Amino acid sequence: MCICINCRHINLCKTYEFIEKQHKNSKTKNKQNHFIPINTIIIVSINKQNLNIYLDWDLKECSSFVEQPGKWISLP
């Protein structure tokens, strides 16, 4: 699971915007995302189901993480 959902910076974060684009589920489309976090680690899992291959993108570590549980709920 991506740690971004409980981070104070989720609304402005370039890395979160990138991960959302990879999921083709961008909720940050019209925003000015200008926060660039430091020391991030993104994990990409490769899943195969029948003849389809799915990539799952998750942020596992981020030195800029500031916990604010439920912050993702306020995304427009």
pLDDT of residue 31: 61
Q: Which residue has the higher pLDDT, 45 or 1?
A: 45
Q: 0.85 exceeded by the pTM?
A: no
Place of tokens 């995304």: 75
pLDDT at 75: 64
> What is the tens place of the pLDDT at every residue in 15-70?
988 998 888 765 555 566 789 999 999 999 999 988 999 899 999 999 999 999 87
pLDDT of residue 25: 64
Question: DSSP assignment, residue 4?
Answer: G
**pLDDT for res 52:** 93
Residue 59's DSSP bridge partners are 42
